Amino acid sequence: MTEKEFKQFFDKNFDSLRSYLFYRSGDKELATDLAQDTLIRIWEKKVKDEGKKTVGLAYKIANDLFVSRYRKSNTESNYLESLEFQFSDLTPEDELEYKELKEKYERTLAQLGEKQRVVFLMSRMEGLKYSEIAEKLGISVKAVEKRMHGALGVFREVLKVISYMLYLSIVTDNLALWFSNI
């Protein structure tokens, strides 16, 4: 790849690589660093520009760099930690329920496969349309739909359990109240 071809490749793919890495890591600085490292490796390996094949290689390198960095630092996605919630108006019970629900959400998110999680976060957290997600990830809209359907299926199952537990809690509270009035 000539210097001119590399510059074109860099300009065309840097933002999408950085976005992909951001959705995996939740850290903009890390995503930028890894995207740069990815493109440096492409340059150092003197890879020929073969269109989609080279873009695919770039995403593979980016993924490998992310996994390596993740294993070394053992950090998880920071977007949930950056969410601040004001507990001033909540009772201690409400706070506990919120924390439990947040933990269930995080566990459910962690249960998703990496591809499903990336698509889910891009859709739900960033508000991107399926076509925008497909374009950024270099996949078809059908693939985005399939991944999103799988992710929502996992969340649907968890919500069934949570709603059943909530129902039991309400019934138990009402029965206790009813028995106390007898």
Kindly state whether residues 106 and 64 are assigned to the same domain: no
**Which residues in the chain come in under a pLDDT of 70?**
71-90, 164, 166-169, 171, 173-182
Residues 47, 19 within the same domain: yes
Asked whether residue 78 is assigned to any structural domain, the reply reads no
Report helix, strand and coil shares of the chain as percent, to nearest 5: 80, 0, 20
Task: Indicate the residue among 28, 49, 73 that finishes a domain.
Answer: 73
Whether residues 32 and 109 share a domain: the answer is no
Question: Within a domain: residue 134?
Answer: yes
Range of the domain at 12: 3-73
pLDDT attached to residue 171: 67
148 with 95, same domain: the answer is yes
Q: How many separate domains does the chain show?
A: 2
The pLDDT, as a whole number, for residue 74 is: 47
Q: What is the pLDDT of residue 89?
A: 60
Q: Give dist(CA 62, CA 20) in Å, integer.
A: 9
